[in-house]
């Protein structure tokens, strides 16, 4: 999530950083004079490690945040969405980053080098405070880019008693692998020879150093001859460093036991990362029993061929280094096992999804911590889910892929989830109905409707939901029909069909389904002002979700009950429910619900006249909305801020924020807006309010947020002196429209006032701007006021 100052997601260094002191000093200076720096070099040269160290050194120069975004697993067309997700942004990237002094570290750009160049060009052009540090095997070739070639570690003989960088790295890593390892007069020349033979490449040196756990330095040097003979058979035109690195990896692979080799090449079936459970399910088989996978995985971690990449849902997470995975993929392809391994990968993910569905099945009564682990696990395995679906599509198995996705329905459409599968779902559905059971096809088609509804695409949402309903009804699938009726009620706002859903839920004992139906009924009632009906339904949801120990469901019910209570004038109950919801969401990624709780508490405080509490809560809500790029959420929060600053006596800022809120939501002002404008008109006058309104509607989302949080007012454009001659060029109708602009009316409001079309109103405004030589409506408003 995009956070405020001092945020960084840079990982802690797994071991000591060795060497490159002068390189770092040079790069620190370079980063202070260039906004785009690319560290270039062959795989294994140490680009990523150097970039992370550099980013940590200069983090204090970027109070707007420092983000590491790893791109090694990316495919073409995924970059912008992936970067937005990594930053927690659901809106426009450039608009959300704005003028922050932030640093983006784009690591391993090679898979999407062209898209990286376009993204950097766009962001650097639109975000004046942004700096980009990239690592790649080739330059991005973006305007203003400074390319810095990462050199190998120095391998020169010791000077003044200090070892070379390469030798120091070898010794440090060898001592970590074998604590009794020391550099002696006997081993020193061997280590120097080894480092020189490896051309000072950090990855190659670390792979060699890891081997001292099982062989001596002398044995390592002896095996170099075989390796270089293998190297001589490679392509003569390949870069020397690439050949050396490839030889080092191949040499390391040859030192593995048969079982270690088997596991290493089979882990290449994972696109991004995996857990031990997945490794046992996918990688066991002929030559490697399931009970041996853990032991061999430990061996590969020890030898630096598999990286331990933190934890997910209480389980260790593993990944292959980029270069090692490239090599392992080649070995997998040559083995003839690739198709079988990818099928096992798909099956393993489908089994995991089926277990999640069983965990929430009627009568399961699974505790919340277990459900939460599933949620976090699938969030972390997004790339694997996509890879599994891709194989299902490529291999013509829509049944398995669709089953996988429908089993994860509640994660795919739930709050805070980022498992974007819409395109893959479309491709699976397009493979043809004859191959898929109609029951599954119906549920998957309804799921497609749910995803469209969540995205605000009402036409496809309605079409898919009705089509899925027809399929489910044709095979008498009661569960699928119930889900479809819930989605249809959400689309139409008509709760009539929910009685059939509740009947099915009662008969089947499906409490999750019952809570969804009651929640939909409650929201429809709240929307239409039927507060008693909404309260009863929300109370039903709360009772069911408490019984299920579902924290997200409970929070949803508490927020709904708080909204009912506040509309009923019961501030104490509203506050109690909002606070309960916030406590439940403390350890869950459900940003929109968290914002709803914070904003609700702020509005309750406003109702009670506690402006200090209101400001604190509304600040948290606005910052969260801004950092996630939630444009509609920002607009709603600005409306609340307008009420706040009006209550604090800052009527000018209240008008600006109310205008910005209306403009961002692209809707006409309403009674709530009028409540803000009325006292402002009484104190400031109609003319001043009109001018402020024009200024507010012209603010960007970032300017409006700054206006709220920091009191920063937009710069008023200078108003040129207008001669009588210029005034006389306006027609009577244009002068009338200029007066309406000064009152703060939008084009649509002007059209309503004068009973003309919005297009005609827009044409008149354009003529006024042209005749007076202005560029903004604010200038028109200021001119009207000054000429009265």
- The token pair at 543 is 């009772």
Mean pLDDT by 10 residues, the chain (788 residues): 59 80 88 89 79 88 87 81 82 83 88 88 90 86 87 72 82 86 85 80 80 80 54 33 56 80 94 92 94 90 76 86 79 92 95 93 85 85 91 91 93 63 90 85 94 85 94 93 94 88 90 93 92 95 92 93 94 95 80 89 94 94 83 87 92 91 78 85 85 86 90 59 47 82 78 78 81 74 71
Report how far residue 447's alpha carbon sits from residue 407's, in angstroms, rounded to the nearest whole number.
10
Q: How far, CA to CA in Å, does 105 sit from each of 68, 71, 323? A: 5, 10, 19
What confidence score (pLDDT) does residue 92 get? 83
- The token pair at 363 is 């009568």
What confidence score (pLDDT) does residue 134 get? 92
> Who's near 623: CB < 8 A, 6+ residues apart?
4, 709
> Who's near 586: CB < 8 A, 6+ residues apart?
none
What confidence score (pLDDT) does residue 414 get? 63
- The token pair at 478 is 């009661």
Length of the chain: 788
Please classify residue 379 by burial: count the beta carbons closer than 10 Å to its beta carbon, then call 0-12 exposed, 13-18 middle and 19+ buried: middle
Report how far residue 61's alpha carbon sits from residue 97's, in angstroms, rounded to the nearest whole number.
16
What confidence score (pLDDT) does residue 773 get? 66
Q: Which H or E run includes 312?
A: strand 306-312
What confidence score (pLDDT) does residue 786 get? 65
Question: Which conformational region is residue 778 in: left (phi greater than 0), alpha (psi within -120 to 50 degrees), or beta?
Answer: alpha
- The token pair at 165 is 């960088």
Report how far residue 483's alpha carbon sits from residue 501's, in angstroms, rounded to the nearest whole number.
8
What pTM does this model have? 0.67
What confidence score (pLDDT) does residue 73 get? 75
Instruction: Quote the distance between the C-alpha of residue 748 and its chain's center.
Output: 36
What confidence score (pLDDT) does residue 340 get? 94
> Closest Cα partner for 43 from 259, 276, 203?
203
What confidence score (pLDDT) does residue 253 get? 78
3-class secondary structure, 455: coil
What confidence score (pLDDT) does residue 575 get? 96
What confidence score (pLDDT) does residue 207 get? 78
> Closest Cα partner for 4 from 73, 64, 79?
64
> Who's near 161: CB < 8 A, 6+ residues apart?
none
In the block, which residue shows the tokens 């802690």? 12
């Amino acid at each position: 999530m995009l956070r405020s100052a001092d945020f960084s997601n840079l990982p802690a260094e797994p071991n000591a950083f060795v060497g490159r002191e002068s390189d770092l000093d040079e790069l620190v200076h370079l980063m202070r004079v260039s906004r785009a720096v690319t560290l270039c070099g062959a795989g294994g040269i140490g680009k990523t490690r150097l970039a992370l160290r550099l980013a940590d050194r200069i983090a204090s120069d970027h109070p707007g945040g420092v983000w590491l975004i790893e791109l090694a697993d990316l495919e073409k067309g995924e970059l912008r969405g992936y970067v937005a997700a990594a930053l927690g942004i659901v809106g426009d990237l450039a608009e959300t980053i704005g003028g922050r002094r932030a640093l983006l570290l784009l690591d391993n750009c090679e898979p999407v080098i062209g898209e990286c160049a376009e993204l950097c060009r766009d962001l650097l052009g639109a975000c004046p405070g942004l700096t980009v540090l990239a690592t790649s095997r080739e330059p991005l070739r973006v305007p203003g880019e400074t390319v810095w070639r990462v050199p190998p570690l120095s391998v020169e003989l010791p000077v003044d008693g200090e070892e070379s960088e390469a030798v120091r790295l070898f010794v440090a890593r060898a001592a970590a692998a074998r604590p009794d390892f020391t550099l002696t007069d006997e081993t020193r020349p061997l280590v120097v020879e080894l480092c020189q033979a490896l051309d000072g490449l950090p990855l190659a040196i670390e792979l060699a150093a890891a081997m001292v756990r099982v062989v001596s330095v002398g044995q390592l040097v002896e095996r170099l001859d075989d390796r270089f003979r293998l190297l001589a058979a490679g392509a003569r035109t390949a870069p020397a460093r690439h050949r050396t690195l490839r030889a080092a990896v191949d040499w390391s692979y040859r030192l593995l036991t048969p079982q270690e080799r088997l596991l290493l090449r089979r882990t290449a079936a994972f696109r991004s990362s995996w857990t031990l459970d997945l490794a046992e399910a996918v990688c066991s088989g002929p030559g490697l029993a399931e009970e041996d996978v853990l032991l061999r995985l430990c061996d590969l971690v020890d030898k630096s061929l598999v990286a331990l990449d933190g934890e997910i849902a209480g389980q260790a997470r593993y990944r292959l280094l980029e270069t090692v995975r490239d090599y392992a993929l080649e070995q997998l392809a040559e083995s003839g096992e690739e198709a079988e391994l990818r099928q096992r990968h798909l099956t393993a993910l489908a089994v995991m999804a089926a277990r999640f569905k069983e965990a929430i099945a009627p009568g399961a009564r699974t505790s919340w911590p277990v459900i939460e682990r599933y949620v976090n696990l699938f969030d972390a395995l997004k790339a694997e889910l996509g890879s599994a679906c891709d194989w299902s599509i490529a291999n013509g198995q829509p049944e398995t892929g669709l089953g996988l996705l429908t089993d994860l329905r509640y994660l795919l459409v739930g709050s805070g989830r980022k498992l974007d599968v819409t395109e893959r779902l479309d491709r699976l559905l397009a493979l043809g109905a004859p191959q898929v059971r109609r029951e599954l096809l119906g549920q998957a088609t309804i799921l497609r409707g749910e995803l469209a509804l969540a995205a605000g695409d009402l036409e496809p949402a309605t079409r898919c939901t009705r089509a899925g309903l027809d399929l489910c009804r044709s095979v008498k699938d009661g569960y699928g029909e119930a889900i479809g009726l819930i989605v249809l009620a959400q689309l139409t706002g008509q709760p009539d069909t929910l009685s059939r859903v509740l009947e099915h839920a009662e008969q089947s004992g499906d409490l999750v389904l019952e809570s969804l139906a009651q929640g939909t009924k409650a929201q429809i009632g709240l929307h239409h002002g039927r507060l008693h009906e909404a309260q009863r339904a929300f109370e039903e949801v709360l009772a069911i979700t408490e019984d299920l120990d579902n924290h997200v469901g409970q929070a949803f019910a508490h927020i709904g009950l708080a909204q009912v209570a506040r509309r009923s004038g019961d501030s104490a109950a509203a506050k109690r429910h909002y606070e309960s919801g916030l406590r439940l969401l403390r350890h869950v990624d459900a940003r929109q619900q968290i914002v709803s709780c914070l904003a609700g508490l702020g509005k309750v405080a406003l109702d009670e006249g506690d402006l200090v509490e209101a400001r604190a809560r509304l600040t948290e809500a606005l910052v969260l909305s801004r950092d996630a790029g939630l444009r509609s959420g920002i607009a709603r929060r600005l409306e609340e801020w307008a009420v706040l600053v009006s209550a604090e006596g800052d009527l000018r800022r209240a008008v600006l924020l109310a205008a910005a809120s209306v403009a961002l939501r692209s809707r006409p002002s309403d009674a709530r807006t009028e409540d803000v404008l009325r006292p402002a008109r009484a104190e400031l006058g109609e003319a001043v309010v009109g001018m402020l309104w024009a200024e507010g509607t012209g603010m960007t989302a970032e300017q409006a947020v700054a206006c709220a949080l920091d009191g920063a007012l937009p710069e008023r454009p200078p108003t040129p002196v207008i001669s009588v001659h210029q005034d006389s060029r306006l027609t009577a109708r244009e002068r009338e429209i200029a007066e309406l602009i000064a009152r703060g009316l939008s084009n649509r409001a002007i059209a309503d006032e004068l009973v003309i079309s919005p297009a005609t109103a827009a044409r008149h405004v354009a003529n006024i701007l042209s005749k007076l030589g202005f560029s903004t409506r604010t200038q028109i408003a200021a001119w009207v006021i000054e000429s009265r």
